[in-house]
Homo-oligomer: A and B are copies of this chain.
Amino acid sequence: MIEIDEKDLHYWLEHVKIYANNGKVADYIPALANQQPEINATAFYPIGDKEVACAGQADYSFTIQSVSKVLTLALALIQHGEQAVFSRVGKEPSSDPFYSIQKLEVEKPSKPLNPMINAGALAVTNMIRGRGSEEMVEEILNLVRLLTDDPSIEYDEEVARSEFETAFLNRALSYFMKQNGIITGSVEELLDVYTKQCAITVNVKQLARIAAVFANDGKDPDTNQPLLPSHVARVCKTFMVTCGMYDASGTFAINVGIPAKSGVSGCIMGVIKESGGLAVFGPALDEQGNSVVGMHLLKDLADDKRWSIF
Chain A window 243-273, contacts with chain B (Cβ cutoff 8 Å), 1 for yes, 0 for no: 1000111110110010100000000000000
User: In the bound complex, how far is the Cα of B254 from the Cα of A233, in angstroms?
Assistant: 11
Q: Are A172's CB and B175's CB within 8 A? A: yes
Assembly stoichiometry (copies):
4
Q: How large is the interface on A (under 10, 10 to 19, 20 to 34, 35 or more residues)?
A: 35 or more
Q: Is A142 an interface residue (CB 8 A)?
A: no
Q: Which of B92, B102, B105, B178 contacts A247 (CB 8 A)?
A: B92
Q: Is A168 an interface residue (CB 8 A)?
A: yes
Q: Is A48 an interface residue (CB 8 A)?
A: no
Q: Which of B96, B187, B242 contacts A249 (CB 8 A)?
A: B242
Closest B residue to A90 by beta carbon equals: B250
A189 to chain B, nearest CB (A): 15
- Residues of chain B within 8 A (CB-CB) of A173 are 172
User: In the bound complex, how far is the Cα of B174 from the Cα of A59, in angstroms?
Assistant: 41
A262 to chain B, nearest CB (A): 15
Chain A window 232-244, contacts with chain B (Cβ cutoff 8 Å), 1 for yes, 0 for no: 0011011101110
A25 to chain B, nearest CB (A): 19
Q: Are A92's CB and B250's CB within 8 A? A: yes
Q: Are A93's CB and B249's CB within 8 A? A: yes
Q: Which of B90, B113, B175 contacts A168 (CB 8 A)?
A: B175
Q: Is A200 an interface residue (CB 8 A)?
A: no
Q: Are A234's CB and B310's CB within 8 A? A: yes
Q: Is A2 an interface residue (CB 8 A)?
A: no
Q: Is A1 an interface residue (CB 8 A)?
A: no
- Residues of chain B within 8 A (CB-CB) of A187 are 171
User: In the bound complex, how far is the Cα of B254 from the Cα of A250, in angstroms?
Assistant: 16
Given A172-B179, A242-B253, 11 further pairs, Cβ under 8 A: A90-B250, A92-B247, A92-B251, A93-B93, A95-B113, A106-B106, A171-B175, A171-B187, A238-B254, A242-B250, A243-B250
* A-B contact list, 15 entries, CB within 8 Å: A90-B250, A91-B254, A92-B249, A93-B242, A93-B250, A101-B172, A102-B102, A168-B178, A171-B175, A172-B172, A175-B175, A237-B310, A238-B254, A238-B308, A309-B309
